[in-house]
Amino acid sequence: MTDAIFDQLAIEHEKAKADPTILRLSLDAKAVVKVGNFSRDGKNRVDTQACDHDFKTNAGVTPYGLFLPELDELFLYFTTSKVTSDFIVDMLEAWWSENRHRFPLVKTLLLNQDNGPENHSRRTQFMKRVVDFAQTHQLNLRLAYYPPYHSKYNPIERTWGILENHWNGSILDEINTVVKFAQSMTWRGGHPVVKLVTETYKTGVKLTKQVMAQVENQILRMTCLAVNGKQLDLGKWFVDIVYVPTLKLE
């Protein structure tokens, strides 16, 4: 199954490279960054003092990244709340609203993600939000997920190591300090676009079976792929959402 998923991912990525109407995005969240006056076991040219135990953190902030592999552009959204389905789609909406003028030919967004708990293709609130996104912005979406334990192949993952090395050994005692470090990091000769999101997101939002049935009617899952004479169900990993002008979900 894993080989079949990667084979299809390769096909999708080549399509995006060759077709100017398809834009590939790589999305994922990093682990929560503890904010407080304690050591990070790194090295720093400046002599600093920190607690040798994590007695108490001042706060926590989670980096969420949106990366354009073909353009080497990085956008980072830091949230003090949970990375929920609504947060993920809100960040996608915010990014597209600010950048759509740069991509007048784009009709389809190819979204590379890990199949995490808040954004997998069976997560009801996430799927409703991306269907709504497609309708609002008159776009087609293709969700193309990486298989379990293979998230390192998602291009956004390459940027997290650069961020870690950038603040290596520094005292991240305030959320603004974390954000400033992210703003000053360098990725392929440029700085990422960085924003702090302070809105609180509600967890555990789910749809009723009736509403989810409506959502499922508006998506196409890759259910049959012949590999070596076997039929494989890839509907969990590859999902198409096609813009329909008359669609309106209740």
Domain assignments of the chain as residue spans, ordered by start: 2-241
Query: Are the CB atoms for 38 and 53 separated by under 8 Å?
Result: yes
Question: To which H or E segment does residue 39 belong?
Answer: none
Query: Are the CB atoms for 152 and 20 separated by under 8 Å?
Result: no
State the pLDDT at residue 170. 73
As a whole number, mean pLDDT of residues 120-125 equals 93
State the pLDDT at residue 52. 47
* Residue 171 to residue 160: CA distance in whole angstroms: 18
Higher pLDDT, 45 or 242: 242
State the pLDDT at residue 14. 97
State the pLDDT at residue 249. 53
Average pLDDT, rounded, for the chain:
87
* Residue 180 to residue 191: CA distance in whole angstroms: 11
Q: How is domain 2-241 classified at the architecture level of CATH?
A: 2-Layer Sandwich (3.30)
Q: Which alpha helices (H) appear in the chain, and where do they start and end? A: 2-18, 85-99, 124-137, 157-166, 175-184, 209-216
Check pLDDT > 50 for residue 81.
yes
* Residue 198 to residue 87: CA distance in whole angstroms: 11
pTM: 0.86
Assign 45 a pLDDT band (cuts: 50, 70, 90): very low
State the pLDDT at residue 72. 95
State the pLDDT at residue 16. 97
123: exposed, middle or buried (Cβ count in 10 Å: 0-12, 13-18, 19+): buried
